[in-house]
Amino acid sequence: MTARRDNLRMLGKLCVIALGMFGFGYALVPLYIAICEMTGINVLALSDKLIPGVTSSRAANTQVDTSRTITVEFDANARGPWDFKPAVRSLQVRPGELTTVMYEFQNVQNRTMAAQAIPSYAPRQASPHFNKLECFCFNQYTLSPGEKKQWPVAFVIDPKLPKDVTTITLSYTFFEVGGKTPAAPQGGLDKSASVALARSAGV
C-alpha cells in the first residue's frame, strides 16, 4: 500500500514537472520578443517596432559595400544563326549586392537546336570575385524553331574585389551543342564552362 502511494505521489510530481516545462516553452517566445525589444538585441524586432504594420522577413545585408559602385557591362557573342542578347547593356552594382539581369534568346532557325553558353570576364582578375548564384550557362537548352526564351543571371560581386577594378564585362559565347566547339573566350573560363566544353568535345 505504501509503495502504491509513493508511486502515485511520484506520478503527480512528474505530471507537475511536465506541465511546468510545457508552460515554460509556450511562454518562451513572447518572453524572448519582449527582452529583445527592451534591450535592442534583435534587429528584426526593432524594425517591426519602428515601422508599424511592416514585418521584416529577413535581416539587412550588412555585406554590401556602400562606399563604391562597379559598372557591370553585359555582352553576347552568338556563334550561329540565332538571336542572343542581354536585356540591358550595363548596370551600376555595389559589391556584396545581389543583382539579377536577363538574357534574351530566340532560335530563328527552322530546326530544333541544343545550345549552351560559356561565360568570360574582363578584366581577368575580376573572375574569382564574380559569383554567379543562378546562370543559364550551368545547363544545356533545347529550343524549337522560332522559340523565344529569357534566362536570368543572378550574381554577387565579392567586396574583396580590388579597388582599382571599377568596370567588369561579363560576356557569353553561345554555341550549338554537338557542333564544332568554339575557342575559349579571352579572360578564362569558370568551372561550369570548362565542364560544358569537355562534354561537348566528348571527353
**Contacts for 197-203: CB closer than 8 Å, 24+ residues apart:** 197/118, 200/116, 200/175
What are the Cα distances from residue 188, in Å, to 1, 33, 194?
86, 51, 9
Domain 70-200 CATH (choose: 2.60.370.10, 3.30.70.250, 3.30.1200.10, 1.10.3720.10)? 2.60.370.10
Q: Please tell me the predicted confidence (pLDDT) of residue 186.
A: 44
Strands 167-176 and 83-86: unpaired
Task: Please give the chain's pLDDT, 203 residues, in tens.
Answer: 677 787 788 888 888 888 777 676 656 666 656 665 565 554 443 444 444 444 444 444 557 888 899 999 999 887 667 788 899 999 999 999 999 999 988 888 888 888 888 888 899 989 899 999 888 888 888 888 888 888 899 999 999 999 999 999 999 888 887 644 344 344 444 444 444 444 444 44
- Find cell 554555341 and name the residue: 175
For residues 131 and 70, what is the distance between their CA atoms, to the nearest angstrom? 14
Q: Where are the domains of the chain?
A: 2-50, 70-200
Helices and strands (H, E) in the chain, number of each type:
3, 9
